[in-house]
A and B are shown apart, each in its own frame.
Chain A
Amino acid sequence: MNKSIRLSVALSGHVIVDRFSLTLPETGCLCLFGPSGCGKTTLLRALGGLLPAQFEPENPWQGKKTAILFQEDRLFPWMTVKENIQCVQKKPARVLSLPDELGLDGLLERYPHEISGGQCRRVALARALCYGGDVLLLDEPFRGLDRPRIEAILPLLQREKAKKPVLLITHDQWEAKALADQILWVEGPPLRLKTPDSSENLQKNG
Chain B
Amino acid sequence: MKQSKTPSHKRGPVTRWGRRVLVAVFWIGLWQVVCLVTGHEYYLASPWSVVQSLWRLGGQASFWESCAQTLGRIALGVFLGAVAGCLLGAVTARFSLAETVLHPLLSLIKATPVASLILLFLIWFRAPLVPVVTTLLMVLPVVWENVKTGLHEIPENFLEMARAYRLRGWKKLRCLTIPAVRPYFRAACQSAVGLGFKAGVAAEVLSNLRGSMGGGIYEAKIYLETADLFAWTAAVVLLSLFVEQIVARLLRWGEKPPDRREPHE
Q: Which residues does A use to contact B, with CB under 8 Å? A: 45, 48, 50, 65-68, 70, 72, 74, 76-80, 87-88, 111-117, 127, 131
Q: Judging by beta carbons under 8 Å apart, are B157 and A72 in contact?
A: yes
Q: Judging by beta carbons under 8 Å apart, are A66 and B167 in contact?
A: no
The CA of A78 and the CA of B160, in the complex, are separated in Å by 17
User: Distance in Å from the Cβ of B71 to the closest Cβ of chain A?
Assistant: 32
Q: Indicate with 1 or 0, residue by residue over B243-258, a CB within 8 angstroms of chain A CB atoms.
A: 0000000000001111
User: Distance in Å from the Cβ of A202 to the closest Cβ of chain B?
Assistant: 28
Q: Which residues of B contact A88 (CB under 8 A)?
A: 165, 167
The CA of A127 and the CA of B165, in the complex, are separated in Å by 10
Chain B 207-265 residues near chain A, CB threshold 8 A? 255-258, 260-262, 264-265
The CA of A88 and the CA of B174, in the complex, are separated in Å by 12
Q: Judging by beta carbons under 8 Å apart, are B175 and A70 in contact?
A: no
Q: Which residues of A contact B262 (CB under 8 A)?
A: 113-114
Query: Given A50-B160, A50-B163, A131-B165, is A87 in contact with B171 using a C-beta cutoff of 8 Å?
Result: yes
User: Distance in Å from the Cβ of A165 to the closest Cβ of chain B?
Assistant: 16
Q: What are some 17 contacts across the A-B interface (CB < 8 A)?
A: A45-B160, A65-B166, A70-B164, A76-B175, A77-B258, A78-B179, A79-B179, A87-B171, A87-B175, A88-B165, A111-B256, A113-B260, A114-B262, A115-B264, A116-B264, A127-B165, A131-B165
The CA of A48 and the CA of B166, in the complex, are separated in Å by 12
The CA of A87 and the CA of B265, in the complex, are separated in Å by 27
B179 interface neighbour in A48, A76, A114, Cβ under 8 Å = A76
B167 interface neighbour in A48, A87, A115, Cβ under 8 Å = A87
Q: Which residues does B use to contact A, with CB under 8 Å? A: 157-158, 160-161, 163-167, 171, 175-176, 179-180, 255-258, 260-262, 264-265
Q: Judging by beta carbons under 8 Å apart, are A74 and B179 in contact?
A: no
Residue of B nearest to A137 (CB): B164
User: Distance in Å from the Cβ of A71 to the closest Cβ of chain B?
Assistant: 10
The CA of A78 and the CA of B158, in the complex, are separated in Å by 12
User: Distance in Å from the Cβ of B114 to the closest Cβ of chain A?
Assistant: 36
Q: Judging by beta carbons under 8 Å apart, are A113 and B164 in contact?
A: no
Q: Which residues of B contact A72 (CB under 8 A)?
A: 157
Q: Judging by beta carbons under 8 Å apart, are B258 and A116 in contact?
A: no
Residue of A nearest to B172 (CB): A87
Q: Which residues of A contact B264 (CB under 8 A)?
A: 115-117
The 9 tightest CB contacts between A and B, nearest first, are A77-B258, A78-B179, A88-B165, A74-B161, A87-B175, A78-B256, A68-B164, A116-B264, A113-B261
B164 interface neighbour in A66, A87, A115, A116, Cβ under 8 Å = A66
Q: Which residues of B contact A80 (CB under 8 A)?
A: 256
Residue of A nearest to B180 (CB): A78
Residue of A nearest to B171 (CB): A87
The CA of A114 and the CA of B256, in the complex, are separated in Å by 13
The CA of A115 and the CA of B261, in the complex, are separated in Å by 10
Q: Judging by beta carbons under 8 Å apart, are B157 and A116 in contact?
A: no
The CA of A38 and the CA of B214, in the complex, are separated in Å by 68
Q: Judging by beta carbons under 8 Å apart, are A76 and B158 in contact?
A: yes
Residue of B nearest to A48 (CB): B164
The CA of A67 and the CA of B163, in the complex, are separated in Å by 11
Q: Which residues of A contact B157 (CB under 8 A)?
A: 70, 72, 74
User: Distance in Å from the Cβ of B169 to the closest Cβ of chain A?
Assistant: 13
The CA of A96 and the CA of B40, in the complex, are separated in Å by 73
Query: Given A50-B160, A70-B161, A72-B157, is A79 in contact with B175 using a C-beta cutoff of 8 Å?
Result: yes
User: Distance in Å from the Cβ of B58 to the closest Cβ of chain A?
Assistant: 43
Q: Which residues of A contact B164 (CB under 8 A)?
A: 48, 50, 66, 68, 70
Q: Which residues of A contact B265 (CB under 8 A)?
A: 116
